[in-house]
Structure 1
Amino acid sequence: MTEYDVTLEWPDGRTETVAVDPRETVLEVALRQGIRLPYDCREGTCITCVGRVLAAGEDDTPDAEEAVDAADVFDYRRQPRALTERERADGYVLLCIAVPRDDCRVAVGPMVRAEVGDSPWS
């Protein structure tokens, strides 16, 4: 079974890497390992668990000018209704319903949440 390494990065420089089976979400694995991430609905409608893909695959040095499209790195258990197409193209991902397709680095924390608009469903 393939697992993907998802490195979670907080603004204070702390990082945690979790090995995520493509049948599980990033949030499920993080919580099981005792990593505290914000979440609420677990359905992809409230935007509380949002992260931003910084880099994927072999390229672990992000280009500040170029966003990583979250669709290149993650699939979803269901349609992420709380994010717009533009937000997804800019690398935003809902960790409660996101299942990885590649190794990646993801920014997490309240600053990422502040970068996106409010969910139309909350």
Structure 2
Amino acid sequence: MTQYDVTLEWPDDGTDTVAVSPTETVLEVALREGIRLPYDCREGTCITCVGRVLAAGGDETPGAEEAVDAADAFDYRRQPKALTEDERANGYVLLCIAVPRADCRVAVGPMVRSEVGDSPWS
């Protein structure tokens, strides 16, 4: 079965890498492996689990100024209501409903959450 390596990058420069199949979400696998990602609704209607895609599909250009479109790395189980089209185009992804399409690196933690506006659904 195909799996993708999703590397979660924390504000303290720590990382966790999880192997995620295209039938599982990043949050499901992280929780199963004991990684404490923030989450709340698990439906894509809040912003609690947001991450920002730093690189996707082998494009490992650290410090690149150009935003990575989240669609380069993830599909969704359902439409992510809490993110705007611009936020998704700038790499933001809801890890509770995101299923991988490629190996990728994702920034996670409170600083990423603070970069995104409030959910229109909360």
Normalised-by-shorter TM-score class:
over 0.9
Moved more, 106-115 or 55-64: 55-64
Q: Is 1:26 the equivalent of 2:38?
A: no
* Residue 75 of structure 1: aligned partner: 75
Post-superposition Cα deviations, 1:54-82, rounded to whole Å, max 9, x if no partner, equal 00111112453200000111000000000
For normalisation by structure 2, the TM-score amounts to 0.98
**In 2, Cα distance between the equivalents of 1:9 and 1:117?**
21
**Counterpart Cα distance in 2 of 1:61 and 1:34:** 29
What secondary structure, in the 3-state scheme, does the structure 1 residue paired with 2:55 have?
strand
Aligned length: 122
Structure 1 stretches of 4+ with a deviation exceeding 6 A read none
TM-score using structure 1 length:
0.98
How far apart, in 1, do the equivalents of 2:38 and 2:59 lie?
A: 27
Aligned partners of 1:90, 1:27: CA distance in 2, in Å? 20
Distance 1:14 1:78 in 2: 30
Query: In structure 2, the residue corresponding to 1:83 is in which secondary structure?
Result: coil
Whether contact under 8 Å (2:57, 2:72) holds in the other structure is: no
Aligned mates of 2:38, 2:111 — CA distance in 1: 12
Query: Structure 2 stretches of 5 or more lacking a match?
Result: none
Aligned match of 1:52: 52
Q: Take 2:51 and 2:81, find their aligned partners in 1: how far apart are those partners?
A: 15
Alignment of 1:1-122 (within 5 A): 1-122=1-122
Pairwise CA RMSD of aligned residues? Answer: 0.7
